[in-house]
Amino acid sequence: MTAPQADGKLLQQADRFIRTARYGAAHAVLAALRRRAAADPAVGQLEARLAIAEGRIGDALAILDVAVTASATSAPLRLLRAEARIQAGDAPGAAVDAAEAVILNPQDATAKAILGIALVDVGALDDAIACLAEATRGAPHMASAWRGLAEAHTRAGSAEAARAAFADGIRCAPRDLGLRQAAMMAAMKQRDFDACVTLGTAARADGVVDACVLGLLGHALSKLGRHDAASEAYHGAFRLSPEDPYVRHLVAAAGLLPGEGRAPAEYLETVFDGYATRFESHLIGLGYRVPGLIREILVESNDAQPAATLGKVLELGCGTGLIGLMIGDLPMTGLTGIDLSSNMLEEARAKSIYTRLVHQDIIAFLAETTDRWDTVIGADVLCYFGDLGPLLHSLRQRMPLNGRLLFSVEEDRGAATGWQLGGQGRYAHARAYVELALQDAGFQVEVMRGEALRQEAGATVEGVLVLARKVTADA
Amino acid sequence: MPDALPPSHLPGQRGGASPTEQLNLAIELARAQGFAAAAPLFHDIAARLPQWDEVPLRIAEAHRRAGKSTEAAEAYEAALRLNPRRPEAMLGLGVILLQSGEVMRAQSLFLRCCGCAPDLPEGWDALGTALMLTGDTGAAESAFAEATRLAPGNITMALHRAEAATTAGEGGAEIVRLRVALTGDPDNPALLTALGVLLEAGRLRDEAIECLEVAAALAPDELTPQRLLAMCLVRANRVHEAMEALDRAIDIDPEDLNLRNNRAAAMIRLHRFAEAHDDLQALVAAHGDQTGLLNNLSNCLVSLGRQDDGIAVARRAIAHEPDSPLAWRTLCNALPYAEGIGGTELLAAARQAGARHPRLAVSPWPNPPAPERKLRIGLLSPTLKTHPVGWLTVAGFETLDPTLFEMHCLGPEHGDDPIHRRFKRLAASWTRLDNRSPAEIVAECRGHALDIVIDLGGNGDQGMLGLCANRLAPVQIKWVGAQNHSTGLAEMDWFITDRWETPAGFERFYSERLLPLDDGYVCYSPPPYAPDVAPLPAAANGHITFGCFNNLAKITRAGIATWSAILRRLPNARLAIMCHQISEAPTRAGLLDAFAAHRIGAERIDLLGGAPHGELLRRYGRIDIALDPFPYSGGLTTCEALWMGVPVITMPGETFASRHSASHLANIGLDDWIAQDLAAYQDLAIAKAADIVALAQTRRGLRARMAASPLCDGPRFGRSLGAALRRAWQDWCARQTA
């Protein structure tokens, strides 16, 4: 007796639901199919596809292990399991399945592509390149094979071959967004901003509509100092992806949208995560002076009261730990650093200076914590807040009377008061505004002096260094 | 009711054809030839077997099928006299009583029926229906629960139960019950259908669609899931899928007029105008004048460039149903396209339409009349998405000062559409308004305590202007969105405009007070994927190519005559027309015939069908000069032509719709492309075509000029819009304190 066959129309319906990402409906149809013909391998295959689509890789593998055992010569099942294994990080297993699928169906370019991608992951780069090249010959429109080939060449150290693979792939699959994005990302990683701009401009000319492509184009243009064109690209990216806080902040910085009171956490995380490994060398290159100035003021301030230590110190936006390096030898009873960028914090952790490092948004952290700090330092971090009020009020609640607050801001010299979001996505403040905001939050200014903070695009970024004391007792 | 007699009711045979056979024969005869033909046979059997309750029962059924309720009721009663426990007779009589409004009598019959035949799901279902009508929704729900327990696969009963639960305020609990039931019975289309309906009522439309899709897949021959799915997809604006579902539903029930009218409407939205027109004509011929059909037919005719026919059909709808808001709305949608339409005539029609909207009693406003406070602004629109409303307003709303204005959107959602997502990003709340009664919608809108509502839909497709007749906020303003002229609505306080759309003296054409902005009345947000401006094609071609990429509805006979005159004066010039309608062969042929009548051969006309937006913009690379249609000028289309480097010749008139292009041109400093009359329009086209160097120069600088102009300056526009909204609000505040 043979097992009942599943209804073909229902199978097609389930397939359609999975392809169009309507997973709830796919579940319902599959439940009905299971009830009617649970043993039909086609049902199992669809269940596995649904599980992969939903990211339930463990479930998919469990289903596929059973299915492959039952139908060892099924190339589609092998390929599906290879796909699941790649997602599960089991590249060797994926390679075995994909190789089996290639043996079962030597003409199948998809199988070759999956095998190639798995081989990239296991580090068999020559075999991967051969396999992927064959896949691209068999199915020139398969963008994933071109992406895999470029990746294989990159890992093999051949940037030129990778560029050629991207160029050929874009020519063969011009509508594939992933290929365009990958090519631009690869150019950015190599700091070849001109190449990235060329790729982005070509994409636009080819009618590619994609926020990520425009965002990368904006980034590359910005790196080349073409700020107007970068703003336009960011504005385009915003129109296609209005929820993206990163792009939105940059568009606001260009004056095209109303600015908000602070840079969004997601923006800062994106910027600084991508920046972490070369942050310090970059700042040194810019003549970054703030850590030295901070130390200087702290020393001066302690000299006035020789017996005093810094007590418990909190550093806002500690980044890679430059301030820690600079003040780590001063007397204190602990140094806590907080930053939004996990990559930056990794760099700071490696310095072994901080007693505690916190990965969180400053405002959220201050709202949650019950700790108190005698000294709070914010070097080049308040420039990501326009309205300083909420931050300063939160800080006051976490500091003792006479607690020390030391920070830098970029100065808006043209304004009598208030703050302004600048083109680089940072805020500049008028001195009078800073003074007023401190006073309003219960601080008294002890030192406020103008300083050149660093160089940027050949110009000096002027700022203000402020030392203030908490003078109002908590209510 | 079974078609043939069940064995349990067979009486003994008494020679010749059995009474059972005779009764079956009578039933068939009644079906085929009507009751009168079968009556002698029925009466003969009844005379022979006077105690057999089956005979009056079958007579009752035959009467009921023939629509004779009184006779049917008498026969059912006769059956019950013979057999007081006959459930079919109780059910049949009860239904007739329900239909005649005797609910309590019906209810008691159904109760008896359930007592006599507790395993008959129809009895419980009928009892539930009667209980619903007496307002006892709790008991009704219990009755339906029993019906669905007995007939778990019955879709109608499952829907009754869902309706009872919703009415009793237990929709959420019923959703949970259905989900649990589905875990044990996953391929039950009745459960899925009911769940789909409840999910949509609970505003989980995407999930509802999935349920209904599965139900329809599991029960491909059942009409109800297909029909519910189709209508749900229509409401979700998933028109392609709706069309497929409508086709499947119509395959099951080809006579369903509502389905077929909805299918025609869906075809219009898919730009299949010629097909829709033929279907609608056939439906009107078969079913006579009906406002819903005539509305779609009028829209279709106008869209095909047959403006006069469309207006005539709209007037037929008014004659058919003079007080119907839909009929008047149909006319208001057709008239702005009519040749020679003036501001006064259009206002008069709009006032008629405005007066016919139903109005509910409204309570006083609690809004604090503080002139400078932060305002809650409602955006009422079906098209806050990639649509002229979106392209021309979103940048303005985005740049309003968020410390002074808080935006609340009222209307459908549009999934992943990028402009819709921009609205989602700027909105503090989003309220979907469909699938409920107007009173519920008005109450919900008022519950938002909005200070100003801006209508961005007018009388257009799915527009909700009628809601404004009930005042959704103390201040109501009309802006883009079928903003072809005054709304004529007494409750619409203001009309956003500019000095070019409504110059001094035009106030008389509007029922609203005019609220002019500092520059143009819209802010164009160019698409980020617009191709670069191509070089002037005339330089390579050696001749001028005129173009019009507007909707065919705007292309009038006078327009064709004028453009033909221009082409006759420039024998080498060509004209390219692009619109969706041209994809259909009959429309294409008709258009070429219209030009041929003016001695312009087909070889001089390029007809291009619809294209994806990026490709549409790219096609401006073939055009040297755009010719604006009249009296309904291009709005977004003109902005797009200008963005692509193509200047536009226009001729404004009295109506708002006739002056869009003039506003955009003046706003970017191209006043010299505006003609005051037909002769000037022709002369201007000839003069501009003659100066290729100047044309090339204008083209080269046009995008930058436009980008730098107020037309595309979001922040500047936002300030102007904010100031206008503030003025309108302050006016209201002043009236409260006066």
Neighbours of B172 (CB within 10 A): 12
Nearest to A30 by CA among A19, A21, A20, A42: A42
Query: What residues of A are in contact with residue B187 (Cβ under 8 Å)?
Result: 31-32, 35-36
Q: Which helix (H) or strand (E) holds A406?
A: strand A404-411
Is the pLDDT at A287 greater than 80, yes or no? no
Secondary structure tally for chain B: helices H, strands E: 32, 12
Q: How far apart are CA B75 and CA A202, in angstroms?
A: 82
Out of B218, B424, B715, closest to residue A32 by CB: B218
Put simply, the answer to whether A240 touches B186 (Cβ < 8 Å) is no
Place of tokens 């829209």: B299
Residue in A12, A214, A228, A257 to test binding to B, most B beta-carbons within 10 Å:
A257
Asked if residues A41 and A4 have their Cβ atoms less than 8 Å apart, the reply is no
Choose the weakest-confidence range: A109-113, A452-456, B154-158, B525-529: A452-456
Contact check, Cβ <8 Å, A208/B529 = yes
Tracing tokens 């059973």 back to the chain, one arrives at A66
A408: helix, strand or coil: strand
Q: Is B192 on the interface with A (CB under 8 A)?
A: yes
The nearest CA of chain A is from the CA of B264 a distance in Å of 26
The torsion of the CA quartet B64, B65, B67, B73, rounded to 10 degrees, works out to 0
B8 has pLDDT over 60: no
pLDDT beyond 50 at A373: yes
Residue B62 neighbours by CB under 8 Å, 6+ apart: B27, B30, B31, B35, B38, B42
Q: Which amino acid is at A246?
A: Y
Task: Quickly state the pLDDT bin for B2 (edges 50, 70, 90).
Answer: very low
Question: Are A209 and B715 within 8 A, CB to CB?
Answer: no
Nearest C-alpha of chain B: how many angstroms from A474?
A: 30
Predicted local confidence at residue B692, as pLDDT: 96
Per-window interface: A 251-290 vs B, CB < 8 A = 255-258, 260
- C-beta separation of A469 from A444 below 8 A: yes
Would you state the torsion angle of the CA atoms of residues B363, B369, B371, B375, taken in this order, to the nearest 10 degrees? Answer: -50
The answer to whether residue B13 scores a pLDDT higher than 60 is: no
SS (H, E, C) B117-183: CCCCHHHHHHHHHHHHHCCCHHHHHHHHHHHHHHCCCCHHHHHHHHHHHHHCCCHHHHHHHHHHHHH
Name the minimum distance, in Å, from the CA of A224 to any CA of chain B. Answer: 21
pLDDT band of A35, cuts 50, 70, 90: confident
- The predicted pLDDT at position B87 comes to 93
Above pLDDT 70, what percent of chain A? 94
pLDDT of residue A138: 94
Can you give the length of chain B in residues?
A: 738
Mean pLDDT in residue range A206-213: 88
Answer yes or no: is pLDDT of A457 > 70.
no
Contacts of B211 in chain A (CB under 8 A): 25, 28
| Poorest-pLDDT segment among A244-253, B106-115, B406-415, B573-582 | A244-253
Question: Could you say which of B218, B531, B615 has the minimum Cβ distance to residue A205?
Answer: B531
| pLDDT average, residue stretch A160-180 | 95
Please state whether beta strands A443-456 and A427-429 pair in parallel, antiparallel, or not at all (unpaired).
unpaired
Considering only residues B608 and A289, tell me which one the structure prediction assigns the higher pLDDT: B608
Q: Is B239 in CB contact (< 8 Å) with chain A?
A: no
A126 to chain B, minimum CA–CA distance in Å? 39
Does residue A150 or residue B6 have the better pLDDT?
A: A150
pTM score: 0.82
CB nearest to A28's CB, from B214, B220, B400: B214
Contacts with A13 from chain B: Cβ below 8 Å: 213-214, 217
Rg (chain B; Cα; Å): 32
- Following DSSP, what letter does each residue of A153-211 receive, concatenated? HHHTT-HHHHHHHHHHHHHHSTT-HHHHHHHHHHHHHTT-HHHHHHHHHHHHHTT---H
pLDDT at B127 over 50: yes
Decide if A31 and B618 are in contact by the 8 Å CB cutoff. Answer: no
B525–A239 CB contact, under 8 Å? yes
Would you call A237 an interface residue with chain B, using a CB distance cutoff of 8 Å? Answer: yes
Q: How many angstroms separate the CA atoms of B673 and B699, rounded? A: 13
Q: What share of chain A is helix, strand, coil (3-state, %, to 5)?
A: 60, 10, 30
The closest of B357, B313, B369, B371 to B338, measured between CA atoms, is: B313
- Residues 19-38, chain A: which have Cβ within 8 Å of B? 22, 24-25, 28-29, 31-32, 34-36
Residues B232, A272: Cα–Cα separation, whole Å: 46
Q: Which residues of A touch B217 (CB under 8 A)?
A: 9-10, 13, 29
Kind plus residue range of the DSSP H or E element containing A463: strand A459-470
Q: Residues B29-83: pLDDT tens digits?
A: 888 888 888 888 888 888 888 888 988 999 999 888 888 899 999 999 999 999 9
Q: Which two tokens stand for residue B726?
A: 């503030």
CB B66: neighbour CB atoms within 10 A?
15
Contact across the interface for A243 and B421, Cβ inside 8 Å:
yes
Cβ contacts of B325 within 8 Å, gap of 6 or more: B353, B356, B357, B358, B466
Q: How confident is the model at residue A41 (pLDDT cuts 50, 70, 90)?
A: confident
Pick the residue of B179, B185, B187 with the most A CBs within 10 A to test the interface with A by mutation.
B187
Residues of B in contact with A237 (CB under 8 A): 528
Q: What span, in angstroms and rounded, lies between the C-alpha atoms of B706 and B645?
A: 9
Question: CB neighbours (10 Å) of residue A290?
Answer: 20
Distance, CA of A343 to CA of B737 (rounded, Å): 59
Reported ipTM: the value is 0.75
pLDDT in tens, B507-555: 999 999 999 999 999 999 899 889 999 999 999 999 999 999 999 999 9
**pLDDT (tens digit per residue) in B248-295:** 999 999 999 999 999 999 999 999 999 999 999 999 999 999 999 999
| The token pair that represents B353 in the structure block | 């339409």
Return the beta strands (E) in B372-434 as ranges: 375-380, 405-410, 427-431
Beta-carbon contacts of residue B403 (< 8 Å; ≥ 6 apart): B374
Q: Do B218 and A35 touch (CB under 8 A)?
A: no
Residues of A with CB below 8 A from B220's CB?
Answer: 9
Q: Shortest CB distance from B425 goes to which of A31, A34, A243?
A: A243
Hey, are the CB atoms on B217 and A208 less than 8 Å from each other?
A: no
Name the residue among A29, A207, A242 with its Cβ closest to that of B531. A207
Cross-strand bridge partners of residue B454:
B379, B477
Provide the pLDDT for residue B165. Answer: 92
Q: Which helix (H) or strand (E) holds A452?
A: strand A443-456
**Is pLDDT of A28 > 70?**
yes
Does residue B303 sit at the A interface (CB-CB below 8 Å)? no
Crossing angle of the two packed helices A211-223 and A227-240, in degrees rounded to 10: 160
Residue B84: C-alpha distances to residues B7, B61, B74 (Å): 20, 17, 14
Do the Cβ atoms of B218 and A10 come within 8 Å? yes
pLDDT single digits (tens) A292-315: 889 988 888 776 565 568 999 999
Interface test with A, best of B212, B214, B240 (most A CBs within 10 A): B214
- Pick the residue with more confidence: B516 or A211? B516
Residue A380 has pLDDT above 80, yes or no: yes
pLDDT of A280 strictly over 80? no
User: How large a percentage of chain B has pLDDT more than 70?
Assistant: 98
**Residue B373 identity (one-letter amino acid):** R
Q: Does B529 touch chain A (CB under 8 A)?
A: yes
Name the residue in chain B with its Cα closest to that of A242.
B422
* Res A472 pLDDT > 90: no
pLDDT reading at A278 higher than 70: no
**Poorest-confidence range of A43-47, B15-19, B71-75, B464-468?**
B15-19
Percent of chain A with pLDDT over 90: 59
The pLDDT of residue A286 is above 70? no
Segment among A197-201, B385-389, B412-416 with least mean pLDDT? B412-416
pLDDT at B15 over 80: no
Chain B residues close to A22, C-beta within 8 Å: 210, 213
User: Do B304 and B616 meet the contact criterion of CB atoms below 8 Å apart?
Assistant: no
**The dihedral of CA A313, A317, A319, A325: what is its sign?**
negative
Q: CA-CA distance, A217 to A201, in Å (whole number)?
A: 8
How many interchain CB pairs under 8 A, A with B? 89
Q: Which of residues 637-696 of B touch A (CB under 8 A)?
A: none
Q: What is the pLDDT of residues B635-684, one digit of tens each?
A: 999 999 999 999 999 999 999 999 999 999 999 999 999 999 999 999 99
Instruction: Please state the three-class secondary structure of B539-560 as a single string.
Output: HHHCCCEEEECCCHHHCCHHHH
Q: Which of B207, B213, B614 sits opposite A209 (nearest CB)?
A: B614
What average pLDDT score do residues A393-406 get?
95
Which burial class, exposed, middle or buried, applies to B699 when counting CB atoms under 10 A from its CB (0-12, 13-18, 19+)?
A: buried
Predicted local distance difference test score (pLDDT) of residue A414: 83
Average pLDDT, chain B: 93
User: How is B547-607 classified by DSSP, letter by letter?
Assistant: EE-S-GGG--HHHHHHHHHHHHHSTT-EEEEE-GGGGSHHHHHHHHHHHHTTT--GGGEEE
Alpha-carbon span B217 to B233, nearest angstrom: 15
Q: How far apart are the first and last CA of chain B?
A: 71
The closest CB to that of B210, out of A25, A208, A260, belongs to A25
Q: Is the Cβ of B401 closer than 8 Å to some Cβ of chain A?
A: yes
Using a CB-CB cut-off of 8 Å, the residues of chain B touching A419 are none
User: Who among A13, A209, A257 is closest to B529 (CB)?
Assistant: A209
Residues 6+ apart with CB under 8 A from B372: none
pLDDT band at B12 (very low <50, low <70, confident <90, very high): very low
Give the model's pLDDT for residue A5.
66
